[in-house]
Structure 1
Amino acid sequence: MNTNEKIQESLELKEKALGLLAGAIAKLMLRFKLQRGKFHHLLDEKLVQEAKKQDTDANIVTLAIRTGIDRRYIKKYLDSEMPRARPDKLVTILEDVRWTAQRYYNSKTIPTRGPFRTFQSICEQRAPSTLTYTAILEELIKNGNLKDLGNNKLELLKLRNTTVKDDIKYSQISANQINRTVDTIVFNASTDLLEDKLVQQTIFSTQINPTNFDELHKDIKLITKEYRSRMADLMISYEENVNVGTYPEYGFSFLEYKFLEHKTKFSKYKTEE
């Protein structure tokens, strides 16, 4: 393999890794209704702050080069002065619907179609030309924001999506779990000696019939319950009688997973480190 082929292969692997990462984030954002605009700005902010953390002597120009972010925004990100994200288009449309309904119709209802002071006219003004008002209406009805009353009338039910309390809690748990996993991966990638690396191991197989997944799941839970108890006892044996938060967090994690998408390339029982 020549140098150009190696470079091309390296670029393809990096692109694949980015795709997997983006896919994971997309699943979380859709599941927990997280705003894309805010995430975009937070990502840039964290990139700058993490780059500065890794090299405290790095100046604004250096940070701009390393992160690919316009140097005009570097200081703002360092100071956590995040630029204001553009409002979500659906939220903007709903705000206009509420204002129009109250201002011109003295109610929570608004005409669906028509050139002026209607849902259609609001969408044509606020949304990109590639999105039809009917497609937007379908999504807002599905989300429970609007109700079609018939006779060319819509009723505003709520401005924003209601997030279930358990969803908020689980989104926090998921974010913490991902953050811990990433910290372990980054630490191990930066550590040369094998004995100093943290435990990072995955056992998987692509030769188990999905009809047996439920039974396997029960067996795994029984085994991990035993190990979890032993590991917890081990952690407690190392604890000191100090206030919670005195020392950095140290822990372990069990994560059972399955890919529902069928893979065409099969491999035997494997262990990843």
Structure 2
Amino acid sequence: MNIFDPQGPVAAAEKTLLIDSVAIMLAIIIPTIIAILIFAFWYRASNTRAERLPNFAYSGRIEMVVWSIPALTIILLGGVAWIGSHQLDPGNPVPGTGAPIRIQVVSLDWKWLFLYPDQRIATVNHLTVPVGSPLHLELTSGSVMTAFFIPQLGSMIYTMNGMVTRLDLRADEAGTFKGLASQFSGDGFPEMMFDTHVVSQVAFGDWAQSAAKSTDVLDETAYKTLAEQSIEKTPKTYRLDDPELFGKIATQKIAPAPGPQMTENEAKPESGARNVR
């Protein structure tokens, strides 16, 4: 999950923004540290050559220097962050070489549900996408708020109950990249990890056709069972029987889960356990 090893244009732009911001800050931090050391050495008690001005109170020139340099640094850093933040708006389209893929993401306690409405597929804790294709992600939560993040593809974004956030990404290299929940959401939070498999366009088509023949069906009834508090150790694949399922979750036509509950069994919640606030 190395953010300095980007595998897509969004992550690459974020890496550049991060490095540029650190470089701008170091432009004032390093000279300041060097100046502190020089002053400490020159005005040491044993240095009789150092000129001392015990009655010194104010110098306009010194004030100009010590305030103008930090002000210019903040203006430059703010400008870089402002421009970069607008260019990397999560909803901005990311062009690609393949057909766009629409993916609907639902965060649950404590697992990730991915819906492919156009391919009529659903997966749990594993995401498969074709290399080079624009990825249009729509995200919501079926429980408490958390955050979706694939560090090597970029742009952490929140998932919130009762609303939909959007994120556009693209993967430029085939491989398997880790994804995670980056906001604490209860005892099972450390297990909210998933693999993002980036495959060729042909391999994605073959996978989609095979997955659509799964004997496991995801509909509203199956979703309610899946939404119960649990940790899924094994990735799952379903045939999506209801392509409108995401809309029902986002608009709360399907009631949201109560959130993490006190339990000694991390696999299933205890009945009647009180909610953690």
User: Which structure shows the bigger proportion of residues in strand conformation?
Assistant: 2
- Tell me which of the two structures has the higher relative contact order, counting C-alpha pairs closer than 8 angstroms and 6 or more residues apart: 2
TM-score, structure 1 as length reference: 0.26
- Length-normalised TM-score, structure 2: 0.26
